[in-house]
Amino acid sequence: MTAPRGISEGRSGNAIWAVLPIKTLSAAKQRLSGQYAAAFRRRLALTMAEDVLSALTAVTSLAGVMVVTCDTEAAALARHHGVRILQPEADAGHTDAVMMAARVLADEGAEGMLTMPADIPLVTPDEIAQLIATRRPAPSFTIVPAHDRNGSNAILSTPPEVVPLAFGDNSFAEHCRRVRALGLEPRIVISPGFGLDIDHPADLERLMARRGNTATHRLLRAEAAAGQLPEATRQAAL
């Protein structure tokens, strides 16, 4: 893989950095494609990333935030929030994007890396700060599973490369297995804001059942009012 181009101010420092991979938005949320148009899926992905970035940039205990993306619109969103950008030459998968960032942060002497997906719009600054504050001394590994205990919706690794990561189906169990194989015990945290990732139509209904005023809530309410959503999601949104 060609070396990435980074945009940053200074070096990472000996602290926790957050890493947010954002894939090319035109390919986002393919598992929603049966019911939702491509233009809506793109808007949804970018809006959820806005919510997650807003939460991350409000956490004062983070040394900084790094977005890994080659999507121009996602990079513009990152610049708007004043965060660091790591740009692969081509769209990297979730695992490759996170491990690329982990290598950069390890080389720069970061204490640890917190990574999460860009599709958990309910996550709050307080949840993120609490996760960081209660980490164990290095080497350590903290993980927050998705609501179905399939995916890994937050991982805090100290140091950044303490465990090779592998995202995808059943990644929560696989990450726990890898950590234990190294003689460490993963710290497992259940957190409602982290837990709800948006992959399937039913996840949008779960999101709207939890009332709020995130940018994602506002987008869905507007789309529902305009009659642009399937009936089940529209009813949940209104």
**Over the stretch 50-94, which tens digit does the pLDDT of each residue have?**
999 999 999 999 999 999 999 999 999 999 999 999 999 878 899
Given the structure tokens 């990297």, which residue do they identify?
92
pLDDT tens digits for 130-141? 999 999 999 999
pLDDT tens digits for 27-37? 889 999 988 99
Cα→Cα distances 39→2, 13, 25, 46, 173, Å: 30, 39, 10, 11, 34
Bigger pLDDT: 133 vs 225: 133
pLDDT tens digits for 86-127? 999 878 899 999 999 999 999 999 999 999 999 999 999 999
pLDDT tens digits for 188-201? 999 999 999 999 99
Q: What does pLDDT average to over the chain?
A: 92
Segments making up each domain of the chain, as ranges:
5-195
Mean pLDDT of 171-183: 98
What percent of the chain is predicted at pLDDT more than 70? Answer: 94
Comparing 7-21, 64-78, 154-168, 218-232, the range with the smallest average pLDDT is: 7-21
Assess whether pLDDT exceeds 70 at residue 154.
yes
Comparing 80-89, 157-166, 228-237, the range with the smallest average pLDDT is: 228-237
**What is the pTM assigned to this prediction?**
0.93
Tell me what pLDDT residue 1 has.
39
Tell me what pLDDT residue 13 has.
58
Band (pLDDT 50/70/90 cuts) for residue 5 is very low
156: left (phi over 0), alpha (psi -120 to 50) or beta: beta
Q: Tell me which CATH homologous superfamily contains domain 5-195.
A: Spore Coat Polysaccharide Biosynthesis Protein SpsA; Chain A (3.90.550.10)
Tell me what pLDDT residue 8 has.
44
